[in-house]
Amino acid sequence: LPSGKSLFQLYSERILTIQRRAQKHAGLEKEPMVRFLVMTGEATHKLITDFFERKAFFGLRREQVLFFQQGIMPCFAPDGRVLMETHGRIATSPDGNAGIYSALRRTGVLDNLKAAGVHWVQAFSVDNVLVRVADPVWYGYCEDVGADVVVKTVPKRMWSEAVGVVTLRGGAPGVIEYSEIGDERAQEQNLSGTLKYDAANICLQAYSLDFLCGPAQEYKTLWHIAKKDIPTIDGKVPGIKLEGFIFDVFEVARCFRLLQVDRAAEFSAIKNASDSGKPDTPQTALSSLSRLHRRWLRAAGVKVPADGAEGQGPVCEVSSLLSYRGEGLEQIATTVDASTDPIVVP
């Protein structure tokens, strides 16, 4: 980004902005506090907590940022033997993103949220540069339908896109991973000609706190096998990691709903290096953010040149402290110089 901001800073600033918007909308004397829950791992906990400390929590109050560490599972050899990292330490790996449920309870975060009167919790992957943190539309929908779980999805770009899809499995909500759906099923169409399996899972979930404290804790984790090279006392060897998937628990939701959103406005992940030749890189994320922010500025009356045929245009960054989803930019439209590259609205 032209500003040099990290993803953590973007998310924190979006929280600050939505707090200000909520205070103004509700006519509150005091600004409300949205808690930012950050799940870390054994290897990353100190790095992340130290980073927030150095950056003064990006303007958030220290007490509203809650760090909690996910669990670990032992690693095994293909024949079932437990692998050793050292003579006195078992080789371990993170227990998958499903570890969020037990970690929230084990670290006391759920108790903290209950004491604060929190009703809804949003979960998102750390690599989605466009995520609407604490999205009031999402929470409002959750409240309106009385759901336990509401999952945001986007339509697949094409049948072959390497993404899981949210669907019914045995009559219960779940996710079919792209590695298991198969080409024939992935290409199935509805009578309208649209893809039958089209609700791409982008790891955006909202839960009621009651669900997180109850069914999510009672659910018995399904362990999935991942065959990886494991660092051991004998060097890297072929082995097995056990991982829980965050979406397996969907099947026990009493009321489960989907909320389809605009990919261009809410989802652009960073999965690969910019020089990898693969999609979902820092460069594609920057392009997605720039296209969205150029769209915001045009809607506010700024004379931003039209994008090229493939969506290309100047790099553009609107500060997350200034606008949450494009609102309020009319007031500064006349001060923005759209002839520059990058276009930066601080």
What percent of the chain stands above pLDDT 70?
A: 100
Within 13 Å of residue 162, how many CA atoms lie on the same side as its CB? 6
Helix (H) or strand (E) holding 225: strand 224-232
> What are the backbone angles phi and psi of residue 284, rounded to the nearest 5°?
-70, -35
pLDDT (0 to 100) of residue 277: 87
Q: Cα(190)–Cα(165) distance, rounded to whole angstroms?
A: 15
Mean pLDDT score across all residues of the chain: 96
Q: Cα(269)–Cα(325) distance, rounded to whole angstroms?
A: 18
- Give the CA radius of gyration of the chain: 22
pLDDT tens digits, residue range 184-193?
999 999 999 9
What percent of the chain stands above pLDDT 90?
A: 97
pLDDT (0 to 100) of residue 86: 96
pLDDT tens digits, residue range 19-75?
999 999 999 999 999 999 999 999 999 999 999 999 999 999 999 999 999 999 999
Is 111 a residue whose pLDDT tops 90?
Answer: yes
**143: pLDDT confidence band, cut at 50, 70 and 90?**
very high
**CA quadruple 54, 204, 312, 291: dihedral positive or negative?**
negative
Q: What is the mean pLDDT of residues 111-136?
A: 97
Q: What is the mean pLDDT of residues 213-242?
A: 96
pLDDT tens digits, residue range 311-337?
999 999 999 999 999 999 999 999 999
pLDDT tens digits, residue range 247-297?
999 999 999 999 999 999 999 999 999 889 888 999 999 999 999 999 999
What residue type is assigned to position 60 of the chain? L
Is 138 a residue whose pLDDT tops 90?
Answer: yes
Nearest C-alpha neighbor of 57 from the set 67, 69, 68: 67
CA torsion, ordered 186, 255, 104, 115, to nearest 10 deg:
160
> What are the backbone angles phi and psi of residue 208, rounded to the nearest 5°?
-75, 150
pLDDT (0 to 100) of residue 217: 98
pLDDT (0 to 100) of residue 182: 94
- For the entire predicted model, the pTM comes to 0.94
pLDDT tens digits, residue range 157-192?
999 999 999 999 999 999 999 989 999 999 999 999
Assign 254 to helix, strand or coil.
coil
Nearest C-alpha neighbor of 11 from the set 49, 38, 51: 38
pLDDT (0 to 100) of residue 85: 97
